[in-house]
Structure 1
Amino acid sequence: MRFDIITLFPELFAPFLASGVTRRAYSSDQVAVRLWNPRDYAQGNYRRVDDRPFGGGPGMVMMIEPLQACLDAIRADRAEDPAEQVPLVLFSPIGRKLDHPAVERWAQSPGAILLCGRYEGIDQRFIDTHVNAQISLGDFVLSGGEIAAMALLDAVTRLQPGVLNDEGSHQLDSFNPSLNGLLDCPHYTRPEVWQGQEVPPVLMSGHHAQIERWRRDQSLEITARHRPDLLAQARDSGHLTRKDEAVLAKIADGL
């Protein structure tokens, strides 16, 4: 799997690629990451990559020529068959919001070229010609696409075999199919008592069936309180049991 990142600020990625549990995947090229700066492909003494927008208005717009030259270099370096080229992804407010099912699909893919916009945006002609998909992290605006690119990379990389210390760890994450798309339950560790607050006794019981039921009930309650939309999706998909519904009925009485 390989991700090529087009960014005017490649230095932002250095600590990200060298830190945390996912660094093993990047250092071993299990998830290969290549950084490409359009400024390296710009012409003139000033290596200009942006210009004022036609029609006036504030800010600057990223120019086509440096982006095109940069993309051509990436495609050549990847030596792809034209019929099997990986998609070019732009992080944009109009993109589809990134969610767990999308992350799982990307985790099974050969990778992509990630385009991190800056300033007021990118010349629309480049987008119309080359961009295959657009992704948004949510209904807010960032200074550039770099943070969004890191978010996608991190989410995809941690799903790769051998990246996490415990292979089953991500199976219990919020939104995971093993939780039927619900939020994860609370977690506890030592000490058993902290400032008068005790770990729930069931977790100390050693009774695995009761522990699993407690965790499921907690997941249902947290989702009902904080993300009822996810609960509705789980119900519509037929993922809730009669026992789940009975638990939810009691929770609803207390809300």
Structure 2
Amino acid sequence: MKIDVLSIFSDYLAPLELSLPGKARAKGLLDIAVHDLRAFTHDRHRTTDDTPYGGGAGMVMKPEPWGEAFAALEIAESDTIVFTTPSGDRFDQRKAEDLSARPRLVFACGRYEGIDQRVIEHAREIANVEEISLGDYVLNGGEVAALAIIEAVVRLIPGFMGNPESLVEESHSGDTAGLLEYPVYTKPPVWNGREVPAVLRSGDHGAIARWRHEQARRRTAERRPDLLAPSALADGTPIQRAVPGDAGELMTLQRACWVQEALANPGVHIPALHESLDDIRAWMGEWDTYVVRRAGRLVGAVRGRLEGPDRTAWDIGRIMVAPDLQGEGLGRALLEHIQDAAPAAATSYLLFTGAGSERNLRMYKKAGFRLRSDLATPPGAVVLSKPRRPNS
């Protein structure tokens, strides 16, 4: 692979000479060249920026040096020019894998308020273009982003890593794509009173594989739930995390569902029927809430959060299905989803329902929940619980 980097601060790219990238260059696997954009200017001050048209703070990088640099590098249609910019597509492992298959990458490291847009338009006429952002924050320039992207990309080149199996087991990679990497341990077996998990010393490779996958899934659910693929109904409709804008529709759905509960439990006070829009917005900030939409309409929802003195009980609530869709299995799907969404700290599941809500009780008992007469309940309600299995 060949990589060129254009920057006005070429010293920023010195780390490319170090560690594995440097060794890859020595092996001939990688050809990296860093170019000073100022070399393509012609004034005494080697100017690469100017004030923006339309006014505003900051400076904008001029198009002329970039155009001359691209011409000097003899960029071909098969090459890819990467603009590192906070307004680009977010970089991830899938993008790293994609870029690692490209024959040549040319990184254009912007500074100040960015590069004149005409440079990007010109680049699209002569090569492939990728506008890439590391995340939702702003750096002083594109060099740090280019370094991160280059390291993520070149380590995927065949022959780059001494042990290619290590690539498969990393976060976001191989069979664990979408998951963070599981916890890792080495000798000694006991350190500072902390032991290596017994399963890792068991020699049972199947059990070890299962343990690692479960740990990866739990770590991802706890730290990066956004990485988990959304659950889906049988017809492919996704179950997605609720956003603040869903509050109004949740209020409408909630009232429709709990009118039915009120009819099944006459005389019982049902808080969900009396909540205001502000109440719903408030609890959405405290509960993990998921919704289902069909044809743009919010038709189902569920929520969960850790409760109890030791915060190990996953409290499941507000399982709601639009009245015209009840009986199609959506409630069961929501119940399964919210159990899967429980964080690693949860050791049990807990939920309440009306004592007269026979349909709900049948669904919960079929899902393994059992009545708990030993736990306090609001008037007219019953509480059910279910232990969380170690691998669930």
With the shorter chain as reference, the TM-score category is 0.7 to 0.9
Report the alpha carbon displacement of residue 23 of structure 1 after superposing the two structures with TM. Answer: 2.1
> Secondary structure of the equivalent of 1:122?
coil
The answer to whether residue 27 in structure 2 is matched with residue 34 in structure 1 is no
Count of aligned pairs: 242
The answer to whether residue 7 in structure 2 is matched with residue 7 in structure 1 is yes
Question: Distance between the aligned counterparts of 2:189 and 2:178, measured in 1?
Answer: 30
AA of the residue aligned to 1:94: S
> Do the aligned partners of residues 251 and 85 (structure 1) sit closer, same or farther apart at CA in structure 2, a change above 3 Å counting?
closer
The answer to whether residue 96 in structure 2 is matched with residue 103 in structure 1 is yes
RMSD: 2.5
AA of the residue aligned to 1:65: E
Question: Distance between the aligned counterparts of 1:86 and 1:145, measured in 2?
Answer: 19
Cα contact 2:6–2:106 (8 A) shared by 1? yes
Question: Distance between the aligned counterparts of 2:147 and 2:26, measured in 1?
Answer: 16
Cα contact 1:22–1:164 (8 A) shared by 2? no
The answer to whether residue 172 in structure 2 is matched with residue 178 in structure 1 is no
The answer to whether residue 44 in structure 2 is matched with residue 45 in structure 1 is yes
The answer to whether residue 159 in structure 2 is matched with residue 199 in structure 1 is no
Question: Distance between the aligned counterparts of 1:29 and 1:45, measured in 2?
Answer: 38
Question: Distance between the aligned counterparts of 1:198 and 1:20, measured in 2?
Answer: 32
Cα contact 2:16–2:147 (8 A) shared by 1? no
Report the alpha carbon displacement of residue 250 of structure 1 after superposing the two structures with TM. Answer: 7.6
Report the alpha carbon displacement of residue 98 of structure 1 after superposing the two structures with TM. Answer: 0.6
2:334 paired residue number? none
Q: Which has the larger radius of gyration?
A: 2
Question: Distance between the aligned counterparts of 1:105 and 1:55, measured in 2?
Answer: 37
**1:28-107 matches, cutoff 5 A:** 28-75=27-74, 80=76, 84-107=77-100
> Do the aligned partners of residues 54 and 100 (structure 1) sit closer, same or farther apart at CA in structure 2, a change above 3 Å counting?
same
Q: Which runs of 5+ in 2 are unaligned?
A: 237-336, 349-392
1:19 paired residue number? 18
The answer to whether residue 114 in structure 2 is matched with residue 140 in structure 1 is no
> Do the aligned partners of residues 214 and 91 (structure 1) sit closer, same or farther apart at CA in structure 2, a change above 3 Å counting?
same
Could you give the per-residue CA deviations for residues 103-153 of structure 1, whole angstroms, max 9, x where no partner exists? 111111112211000011111221222152200111100010111111111
Question: Distance between the aligned counterparts of 1:65 and 1:225, measured in 2?
Answer: 49
Question: Distance between the aligned counterparts of 2:225 and 2:214, measured in 1?
Answer: 15
Cα contact 2:6–2:107 (8 A) shared by 1? yes
Question: Distance between the aligned counterparts of 1:9 and 1:106, measured in 2?
Answer: 24
Question: Distance between the aligned counterparts of 1:231 and 1:122, measured in 2?
Answer: 35
2:164 paired residue number? 167
1:157 paired residue number? 154
User: Which sits farther off after the overlay, 223-232 or 181-190?
Assistant: 223-232
Question: Distance between the aligned counterparts of 1:251 and 1:119, measured in 2?
Answer: 42
Report the alpha carbon displacement of residue 31 of structure 1 after superposing the two structures with TM. Answer: 2.0
> Do the aligned partners of residues 215 and 67 (structure 1) sit closer, same or farther apart at CA in structure 2, a change above 3 Å counting?
same
> Do the aligned partners of residues 201 and 126 (structure 1) sit closer, same or farther apart at CA in structure 2, a change above 3 Å counting?
same
**Alignment TM-score, normalising by the size of structure 2:** 0.57
Higher relative contact order by CA 8 Å / sep ≥ 6: 1 or 2? 1
Q: Which runs of 5+ in 1 are unaligned?
A: 239-244
Q: Which has the larger helix fraction?
A: 1
Question: Distance between the aligned counterparts of 1:181 and 1:54, measured in 2?
Answer: 43
> Do the aligned partners of residues 70 and 250 (structure 1) sit closer, same or farther apart at CA in structure 2, a change above 3 Å counting?
closer
Q: Which has the larger strand fraction?
A: 2
1:241 paired residue number? none
**Alignment TM-score, normalising by the size of structure 1:** 0.86
Report the alpha carbon displacement of residue 55 of structure 1 after superposing the two structures with TM. Answer: 2.9
2:297 paired residue number? none
